[in-house]
Amino acid sequence: MRWLMSSDVCKHCTHAGCLDVCPTGAIFRTEFGTVVVQEDICNGCGYCVPACPYGVIDRREEDGRAFKCTLCYDRIGEGMKPACAQACPTESIQFGELDELRVRAAGRRDQLVEAGVSSAQLYGENPDDGVGGAGSIFLLLDAPEVYGFPPDPVVPTCNLVSMWKHAAAAAGVLAGITVGAFASARRS
Ligand code: SF4
Ligand code: SF4
C-alpha cells in the first residue's frame, strides 16, 4: 500500500472544451492564458461540464452555476502567486512561466528516474497532446489512470470545424435536392 498525492484542479487547457461550448461568454481566456468562469454571466446551462475531458468543472447544487479553479485570477492580477502555491509548505505546488516550469518539472522527473522510480512521468506538459498542452503540469509516480486522470485526454470540440463544414455541405446538398424537386414538380 502507498499514498499517491495529486490535486485535481483545472488544467487551463490550451484548447479548452469548456470555453469552446459556453454559449454566454461566461468562460474566457485571461491575459495570463488561464481559463476563468464569470459566475455573474453563467446561466447554468451546464454545456461546459461534459466538454471538459478531465471532469473538473461542475455546477453548484444551489444555483446551478458552473465553478472551477481560476488559478486565483484576482491574486495573479496583483502580482501574487495562487493561494495554493503560496501556502504549500513543501513547494509541491509551484507557479511561474510555463516554459520554465516544464524544464523544472522535467528535471525533477529525471531525478526520480535516476533514483529508481522508473514510472515517474509528467502529465499535461506535451503541447501536442489532445488539449494542446495544459497550463497545469503534474509530476506523477505512476500511470495517469492510477491517479484518476484520463491517459490520453482529447478536447471534445476538436472536430467542431470539420463537423460544421460537413453540416454546411449536407445542408447545401439538401437545398439543391429541394430546389430540384420543386423544379420537377412545376414541369409535371
Ligand atoms: S454552465 Fe455557465 S459556464 Fe458552463 S457553458 Fe453554461 S453558461 Fe457557460
Ligand atoms: S481542464 Fe476542463 S475546465 Fe479546465 S480549461 Fe480544460 S476543459 Fe476547461
Write out residues with Cβ below 6 Å of ligand 1: 21-22, 24, 26-27, 37, 42-48, 66
> What pTM value is reported for the model?
0.84
Residue 171 pLDDT: 73
Q: Which residue has the cell 484576482?
A: 74
Atom of ligand 2 nearest to the CA of 69: 4
58-84: pLDDT as tens digits? 999 999 999 999 999 999 999 999 999
CB-based contacts of 133: which residues, under 8 Å, 6+ apart?
Answer: 13, 14, 124, 125, 126, 127
